Amino acid sequence: MTRPLVLFFVTITVTLALNQAPADDKIPSEKCVASCKKCAKECADCSKCCKTDGRPECARMCETCQRMCLVCAELTAGKSDLAWDACVLCEKMCLSCSRECAKHDAECCKECAKVCKECASACANSRK
C-alpha cells in the first residue's frame, strides 16, 4: 500500500468516526488502547532502525502498522462506531508486521515483533 493511499484511508476513517454516533453493541473495550499506543511507538522506532540498516520493506510495514495502531487507539478511546472495524484491521496489521519483523535478526525487529503480537492479542481480546 502506498503512503498516500494509507494517509487517505486514515484521514477518511478518522473524519467519518468523528461525525458518527457510536453503536453501543459494537464498540471494543478500551483494553487495547494502551497496547496500540505502545505498539505504535515500537513500530516507529523499528521503522527508523530498519531504514538505517537497509530493510526498506520492514520499515514500510512498521510505518503502516504504526498508523493503524494510532487510528485504532483513537477510535476505540473515542467510542466511535468504526472502532470495531479498526480494531479488526489493527489486529491483522499487527500480525503481518510481527511476521515481517520476525524475519530479521536485529534487536529492534525482535522487540517490534513481540510488541505487535501483544497488540494483536489485545485487539482480539477487546472484542470478546
**CA-to-CA distance for 49 and 55, rounded, in angstroms?**
8
pLDDT tens, position by position, for the chain (128 residues)?
556 555 555 555 555 554 444 445 678 988 899 999 999 999 999 999 999 999 999 999 999 999 999 999 999 999 999 999 999 999 999 999 999 999 999 999 999 999 999 999 999 999 99
Whether 1 maps to a domain, the answer reads no
How many residues would you count in the chain? 128
> Considering its fold, how many domains does the chain have in total?
1
Q: Which domain holds residue 36?
A: 32-126
Whether 79 maps to a domain, the answer reads yes
All cell numbers assigned to 66: 504504526
Whether 18 maps to a domain, the answer reads no
Specify the pTM: 0.81
**CA-to-CA distance for 104 and 112, rounded, in angstroms?**
11
121: domain CATH number is 1.20.1270.360
Whether 8 maps to a domain, the answer reads no
